[in-house]
Homo-oligomer: A and B are copies of this chain.
């Protein structure tokens, strides 16, 4: 069976509010099976209404968590760790309320560039304590998620977005330390491109730990407009037995003006529907072929 293919809500709007509900049907019509929704802040969305709108469109849903230095189970500030753990639990409850079974993202916290924080050396003592804090909180959050029938999918981020888990190997080590069936791994090819030697080898090594997957180009644009060997990625996912969701986040805009901050999220400035449709179709094509031999 082929993996469900989804689209991140940030593709359309941020924050995503009820005025954007009409997008659910459009996304479905473009060939997507689910929406990956940022965990709604209370002021953005009513969960019951949102669930109704998503289900009405025929889409499934996956949730994406947003952490910060104050919502941070890896922090050396106990208050930030407590806030981070409470957030993961409430996000798992929100996932269940929305009908999602997967809550993904850099759940460990410790953002860098988007928190305006430069990379800095970490003492060995602090490094080890961070791991303890993170593992302990992920176990507790995983148990809470399990009660909701939700799986936490921990995503490594590139070296500029976090200083805690960047490579697939680091992600595997963390998941294995946690050792809870509801705490698994999420891989994003954009980050893998910057941190792993080979996408296919990393997928193979991660194997059954993978609970969620994001297919993004090396430059985070539309699948099929960059250098990624999607055939190799699809073949590796098939070899790993991965049948879970795959979502796209092509929210880099086609804008090459000098002085435009590429990493700054911007709303679309043109109709991107054809590229959205063709990216999903490309991915379905390589995934289908990934199951065949010559």
Contact = CB atoms under 8 A, between A and B. Distances in A.
Contact of A196 (B121, B163, B196, B219): B219
Nearest to A167: B256
A118 B114 contact: yes
Contacts of A130: 259
Interface residues of A, number: 52
Contacts of A266: 121
Contacts of A115: 118
A235 B12 CA distance: 39
A121 B199 CA distance: 32
5 contacts: A113-B113, A114-B119, A119-B262, A160-B263, A163-B262
A256 B169 contact: yes
Interface string A245-287: 0000000000011111111101000000000000000000000
A259 B122 contact: yes
Interface of A: 74, 112-122, 127-128, 130-131, 158-161, 163-167, 169-170, 173-174, 193-199, 218-219, 221, 225-227, 256-264, 266
Given A122-B261, A194-B219, 8 more contacts: A115-B118, A120-B264, A122-B264, A164-B259, A170-B258, A196-B219, A197-B221, A218-B218
Contacts of A166: 262
Contacts of A198: 226-227
B219 A127 contact: no
B197 A127 contact: no
A158 B262 CA distance: 8
B193 A127 contact: no
B258 A227 contact: no
Given A113-B112, A219-B195, A225-B197, A261 B169 contact: no
Contacts of A218: 193-194, 218
B163 A160 contact: no
A194 B197 contact: no
A221 B127 CA distance: 23
Contacts of A119: 113-114, 261-264
A112 B117 CA distance: 9
Contacts of A112: 113, 261, 263
Contact of A257 (B127, B221, B262): B127
